């Protein structure tokens, strides 16, 4: 089949990472339910939940910087394995003790180490692909993650009421399975590049701020990720709170089904979009994605209590998510030196995390004082800002990175030329 054939010849390691994504996501029962755990199980209000989330984000910022530095200077496979082991131990302890503040602290520790490994994981995918295969490599990882998520949120919703400890244990075991796959079967840490973007040439010894100063479009991209991250983040903050307000304890199950719908649509839409719209510029994918994400989420303001419409809106939101995701990682890696993938990715993720962290505190106060309709209105306004910024980026990207828009020799350079110009090597890290 054409949908399957596009993922051929990506390399053994890419497929191992793909299967690792599947099994990790199969056991990802807790993260989608975190807001409801804090609200329903712990009794916290929306404002306090947002404050906890902001605190987590503040702790993540230095972890992201550390993760980016480790990704650019250390063996990326080893970084992933060590971080995974710490998260797994944290989940196991959570499963063995009564739900309390200690459980939440351990869960957030697991999240922090997952944050540290993120830049290494993304950079490893880039290392194991080149300019011609990178979009498909990232697409496959995204596909695998959501393949596992089809059942996980629903199962988590079913275990939410009486078997939360089991949910923690399943999360730990699934992550451990992925760790085993990576430890034993990832042998190569890079592949020979058939072609790379001129902008990807290594620039050893230069700081991240020099790179960002030269390529100011990346700052606009980071801002889009930040404001857009606040909008997208309402999938895991405002939406489950809204479901809980409408349906009480049954809100967890309904939200679980909606999250599974999200994953199912990703599974269908990702190969279709990659196959038929793979040639669409990454900046245009990003723009289309932000439009659909905003439309899908904001429309929940008008669907209060009308359950069948929830799943239609979730479909719109998810197709937007697919477009946005397929645009983001290729956009990043094609425009920054490979020597700075980890650090630039960390910078963008800090911005991505800061906006939801601060925004959710404000949104929590709005929910507690003025209700959900006003909160959804603010989300819609933020979405409109994201769309405008994405349009500006799409219109100006050619001027910032002209070689990516030329054809022929200018569009890419051979590895040999890259080595001659910058001393780049293709050996293992």
Domain boundaries, the chain: 13-190+208-401
Instruction: Give me the pLDDT at residue 29, please.
Output: 77
- Tell me if 345 sits within 8 A of 68, measured CB to CB: yes
Q: What is the pLDDT of residue 239?
A: 94
Return the C-alpha torsion angle 314, 318, 324, 328, nearest 10: 120
Please give the span between the terminal C-alpha atoms of the chain, in angstroms, as a whole number.
36
Going by C-alpha positions, the residue among 272, 6, 16 that lies closest to residue 125 is 16
Q: Using the structure block, give the residue that is written with the tokens 């990516």.
A: 404
The per-residue pLDDT for range 144-176, each reduced to its tens digit, is 887 877 777 778 878 888 888 898 898 899 999
pLDDT of residue 139: 84
CA angle, residues 235, 91, 233, in degrees to nearest 5: 15
The fourth-level CATH superfamily of domain 13-190+208-401 is: MFS general substrate transporter like domains (1.20.1250.20)
Positions of the chain with pLDDT under 50: 408-429
**pLDDT score of 419:** 36
Task: Indicate the burial class of 85 (C-beta count within 10 angstroms; 0-12, 13-18, 19 or more).
Answer: middle
Rg of the chain taking only CA atoms, in angstroms: 21
Query: In whole angstroms, what is the distance from residue 63 CA to residue 246 CA?
Result: 36
Distance CA 255, CA 239 (A): 8
Enter the tokens of residue 48. Answer: 């306090």
Q: What size, in residues, is the chain?
A: 429
Alpha carbon 15 to chain centroid distance?
Answer: 19
Largest Cα separation within the chain, whole Å, is 64
């Amino acid at each position: 089949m054409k949908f399957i054939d596009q993922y051929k010849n990506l390399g053994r390691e890419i497929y191992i990472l793909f299967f690792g994504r599947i099994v990790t996501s199969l056991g990802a029962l807790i993260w989608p339910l975190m807001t409801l755990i804090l609200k329903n199980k712990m009794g916290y209000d929306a404002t306090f939940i947002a404050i906890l989330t902001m605190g987590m984000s503040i702790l993540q910022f230095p972890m992201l910087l550390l993760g980016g530095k480790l990704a650019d200077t250390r063996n990326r496979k080893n970084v992933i394995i060590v971080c995974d082991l710490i998260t797994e131990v944290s989940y196991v302890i959570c499963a063995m003790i009564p739900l309390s503040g200690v459980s939440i602290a351990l869960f957030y520790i697991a999240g922090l180490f997952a944050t540290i490994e993120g830049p290494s994981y993304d950079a490893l995918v880039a290392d194991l692909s080149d300019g011609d295969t990178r979009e498909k490599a990232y697409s496959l990882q995204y596909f695998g993650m959501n393949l596992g998520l089809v059942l996980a949120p629903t199962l988590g919703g079913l275990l939410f009421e009486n078997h939360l400890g089991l949910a923690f244990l399943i999360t730990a075991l699934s992550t451990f399975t992925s760790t085993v796959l990576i430890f034993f079967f990832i042998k190569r840490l890079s592949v020979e590049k058939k072609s790379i973007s001129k902008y990807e040439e290594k620039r050893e010894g230069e700081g991240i701020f020099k790179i960002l100063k030269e390529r100011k479009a990346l700052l606009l991209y980071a801002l889009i990720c930040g404001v857009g991250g606040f909008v997208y983040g309402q999938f895991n903050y405002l939406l489950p709170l809204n479901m809980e307000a409408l349906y009480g304890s049954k809100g967890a199950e309904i939200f679980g089904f909606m999250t599974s719908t999200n994953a199912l649509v990703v599974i269908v839409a990702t190969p279709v979009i990659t196959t038929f719209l793979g040639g669409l510029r990454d900046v245009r994918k990003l723009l289309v994605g932000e439009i659909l994400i905003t439309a899908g989420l904001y429309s929940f303001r008008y669907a209060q209590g009308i359950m069948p419409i929830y799943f239609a809106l979730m479909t719109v939101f998810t197709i937007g998510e697919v477009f946005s995701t397929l645009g983001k990682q290729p956009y990043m890696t094609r425009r920054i030196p490979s020597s700075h993938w980890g650090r630039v990715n960390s910078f963008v993720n800090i911005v991505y995390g800061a906006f939801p962290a601060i925004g959710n505190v404000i949104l929590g106060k709005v929910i507690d004082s003025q209700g959900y309709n006003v909160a959804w209105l603010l989300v819609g306004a933020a979405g409109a800002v994201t769309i405008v910024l994405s349009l500006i980026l799409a219109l100006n990207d050619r001027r910032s990175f002209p070689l990516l828009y030329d054809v022929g020799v200018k569009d890419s350079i051979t590895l040999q030329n890259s080595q001659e110009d910058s001393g780049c090597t293709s050996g293992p890290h």
